[in-house]
Amino acid sequence: MQPRERGFTLIELLVVISTIALLMGILVPALTRARAVAREVVCRGNLRQVSMALQMYAQGDREGRYPLEATEHNPHRPLLEKLNVYENEGLFRVFYCPEAHLMEAGAADPNGGTPPGGVDSVVDTEENRQRGHITYVYWSFERNKTEPTGATWRDARVFFPRALANTGMRPVNGTPEESRNLRTSPSEVWVLSDFFRQRGIFPHRRRGGATAGGLNIAFLDGHADIVFGRPQDNYR
């Protein structure tokens, strides 16, 4: 007589299911964090590529000078045209962070920060491409944007208009030369950064669902890194 095959008992099945659920609870958050870090690294690589394109633009008869935009903020169509981005799909893509969707709601929120009523879009769409709206903020600019009240878009004592070159920067529009930013080395000077608004819309390494996180920055010497803390404290 053949012995009867023994199957799993109910208790054994429950133990297996509980073990699988426990493992999923451990692995899923880790995988989510890993994907977020990967997107962060891609975003930082984008900034390096844009920085290289700017350095190439500045060479030759431009005497090291970077493009000078009207403001640091969108739209940046003149910048895209000067870099011939509209003829280079590969270069166009690097002007958009893969985590831009995390910033989009805040960017489009008229109550999301300074200036009051200001709205924006920072994701990669055909409309944004044509308008020159990109994910990043460009820090070679002539003036701060103004609010309807006449106040500046950013605190001009910190984010002051300046023109960038491969070797450094100079103030524009009569900005005082004693600003602390003028004493900053090229390895610290901001060229581009992730989009942000006053209340701190940072896309990377969010903790516990908080809005505070890291800001990817491309520096004048060509390197890019993530910086934590308030932009007005870290800006150079």
Confidence (pLDDT) at 18: 75
Start-to-end C-alpha separation, the chain: 85
Cα–Cα distances (Å) from 124 to 104, 193, 207, in that order, read 10, 16, 25
Q: Please return the burial class of 1, using the count of CB atoms within 10 Å of its CB with bins 0-12, 13-18 and 19+.
A: exposed
Confidence (pLDDT) at 83: 94
Q: Nearest-CA neighbor of 225 among 216, 213, 214?
A: 216
Domain boundaries, the chain: 10-234
pTM of structure: 0.81
Confidence (pLDDT) at 61: 78
Confidence (pLDDT) at 178: 52
In degrees rounded to 5, what are phi and psi of residue 231? -55, -40
CB atoms within 10 A of CB 171: 16
C-alpha–C-alpha distance, residues 120 and 118, integer Å: 7
Confidence (pLDDT) at 221: 92
C-alpha–C-alpha distance, residues 120 and 61, integer Å: 35
Confidence (pLDDT) at 4: 55
Cα–Cα distances (Å) from 105 to 3, 73, 88, 227, in that order, read 65, 17, 28, 22
Q: Nearest-CA neighbor of 95 among 56, 53, 57?
A: 53
Confidence (pLDDT) at 114: 55
Mean pLDDT per 10-residue section of the chain, whose length is 236 residues:
60 73 66 70 90 91 91 93 92 91 80 68 94 94 79 78 89 63 82 80 53 81 88 86
CB 183 within 8 A of CB 166: no
Residue 178, token pair as written in the block: 């004693």
